[in-house]
Amino acid sequence: MGERGKDDAMKHRKTNLEPVAEKPESQDPMARPATTSPHKEARLGREVQARIGQQLRAMYNDVVNQGVPQHLADLVRRLSDQDQD
Amino acid sequence: MKLDPAIRDQVLATVPSLRAFAISLCGNIDRADDLVQETLLRALAHIDSFEPGTNMPAWLFTILRNLFRSEYRKRRREVEDAEGRYAETLKSHPEQTGRVEFEEFRTALAKLPADQREALILVGASGFSYDDAAAICGCAVGTIKSRVNRARTRLADLLAIDSVDDFGPDRATRAVLAGGGRN
């Protein structure tokens, strides 16, 4: 649900996400610095940063939400009950 | 003497995020779980060097990262096929993100230099402070800030660009793109 709408929005994300529209197509790709300069970074849209943060956490939390696998829980409990060195 | 249950519980509570971090390093859930297991073995064998009251997650993340750096990086070539395996581990992802967008994000993340990706994950996903992230990575706070900034900028660039040719001549990048089935 709402998936199609999101996909449609995706197709236009270049404009949506980068309202400051910086050149990507027109410029010689080799002229693009490997890492971007501070002033370019300052121009990063808040939207883009927010989106990146959201996706990063979604990806990460997907794993976190799997909890502790049984074999790892068993391992910790077993080692905890052993006499320490 | 047995381990203080409070300490044990702190270790257990950190396991889920340790796994998420390990997967972001290894790119593969089986190897990530091996890495987490080694980390737990190492940590519990040296639990005396943990100071109660200090940051347990930061302590465990540091051990995991050091293990990864010393052992797992030797097998770096395997990481190149991480893409497909990683996708398998993430079949169900949160609904707020469209699948296509999610895959694009993951592909873009895989293209970041390891140092930048690691810093971004620690600060942007694990929620560590810049100070803690710097301690975990054994570098200066300014270095972490710079890596995080460059990672964000690069990701923003990658996510805004669709043409393969814009990504530069890097071989691994092409492999990832080819394996990712885009275009």
> Is there a contact between A79 and B41 if contact means CB atoms under 8 Å apart?
yes
pLDDT digits over B38-63, tens only?
A: 999 999 999 999 998 899 999 999 99
Tell me if B99 sits within 8 A of B93, measured CB to CB: yes
pLDDT digits over B71-113, tens only?
A: 765 665 555 444 445 555 555 445 544 677 778 888 899 899 9
> Is there a contact between A36 and B168 if contact means CB atoms under 8 Å apart?
no
End-to-end, the C-alpha distance of chain A in Å comes to 56
> Is there a contact between A6 and B3 if contact means CB atoms under 8 Å apart?
no
B123 Cα to chain A: minimum distance (Å): 10
Higher pLDDT, B145 or A10: B145
pLDDT digits over A11-67, tens only?
A: 443 333 334 433 444 344 444 444 555 555 455 577 788 889 999 999 999 999 999
Chain centre to alpha carbon of residue B117: 7
Task: Kindly report the average pLDDT of chain B as a whole number.
Answer: 81
> Is there a contact between A80 and B8 if contact means CB atoms under 8 Å apart?
yes
Quick check: ipTM above 0.85? Answer: no
Number of A–B residue contacts, CB under 8 Å: 162
Which amino acid type is present at position A3?
A: E
Task: Give the pLDDT band (50/70/90) at residue B144.
Answer: very high
